[in-house]
Chain A
């Protein structure tokens, strides 16, 4: 799945409510969508602001055949200006691992 395909599929899943969150220890630190600090609409804006060079793919830590999409995005939401989103798909549903603020040097 390319950057554009993954992003469009995630946005569709968010709009239609076809998503789940991976249960993890630090849910209130690493997945702010799961705990309601950011809304699905705000995550859509974060994804729309992501440029292709700030997207990468990596294997899922449990099942290497599952492709995880990693998005970095420069978008102001509340006090934060840079975001990190990690998600994958199981059939038509999106699964979010991470949605949280991040800091990195934006590549020129």
Chain B
């Protein structure tokens, strides 16, 4: 990969001049619209005539990625200790080497999965009515994970089924136990393992 430096020159199509012309590489703040964040000192190609931003070279990708990862929103709930036992057991069964990171990734995976498949989400909610989850137990433990703004919104949309963060977390614990421990679903296990190993 070619590494560009400030004041290097190349060619690009300027959307303002509507021409193929010379571009000059410079460090500029780059605004990420969806993430709602401005990233400082990103190397970009600007039009040599009108100064319009024209290109982002691949070497700037890591800087943009790092800035986006920094935006995280907290999901924190108090749960009975056995709920945390379940998810720790599930991630251990999946081969996680760093349980806390894997646990967070497990919840992220299930939020996306249940948002895409509401039927699975409703099944998870039904699991909570089973006797093993319906008994009232003091919430002595805590689960805390960080979500991207996009996942946080998905989580909120799942409230139409689970009604609360606590039920969502308990539902994910019950569903993961069902899919990984009780009635192993090999396709889901493979998907979850892949997801968890990405953060190992």
Seen from chain A, the residues whose Cβ lies within 8 Å of a Cβ on chain B are 16-23, 25-29, 33-37, 40, 60-63, 66, 79, 90-91, 95
Q: Are B33 and A29 in contact (CB under 8 A)?
A: yes
Give the shortest distance, in Å, between B153 (CB) and chain A (any CB): 13
A21, B56: Cβ atoms under 8 Å?
Answer: yes
Taking a contact as CB atoms under 8 Å apart, the answer to whether B55 and A63 are in contact is no
Tell me which of A18, A27, A33, A40 has the highest count of chain B C-beta atoms within 10 A of its own C-beta: A27
Q: Which residues of B contact A20 (CB under 8 A)?
A: 10, 12, 45, 55-58
Whether B139 is near chain A, meaning CB under 8 Å from some CB there, is no
Residues from chain A with Cβ under 8 Å of B81 in the complex: none
Residue pair B33, A62 in contact (C-beta under 8 Å): no
Closest residue of chain B to A19 (Cβ to Cβ) is B58
Interface residues of B (CB under 8 A from A): 1-2, 10-15, 18-20, 30, 32-35, 44-45, 53-58, 60-62, 64-65, 68, 109, 112-113, 116
Residues of A within 8 A of B11 (CB): 90-91
Contact A63/B19 with A17-B1, A29-B33, A79-B112 known, Cβ cut-off 8 Å: yes
A11 to B116, CA, bound (A): 31
Which of A23, A28, A60, A61 is close to B54, meaning CB atoms less than 8 Å apart?
Answer: A23
Cβ B58 vs Cβ A90 within 8 A: no
Known: A21-B56, A95-B55. A33 touches B13 (CB 8 A): no
- A55 to B112: give the CA distance in the assembly, Å: 29
* In the bound complex, CA of A90 to CA of B14 (Å): 13
Interface centre among B10, B30, B45, B55 (most CB of A within 10 A): B55
In whole angstroms, what is the CA distance A62 to B32 when docked? 23
Max count, chain A CB within 10 A of own CB: residue among B19, B32, B62: B32
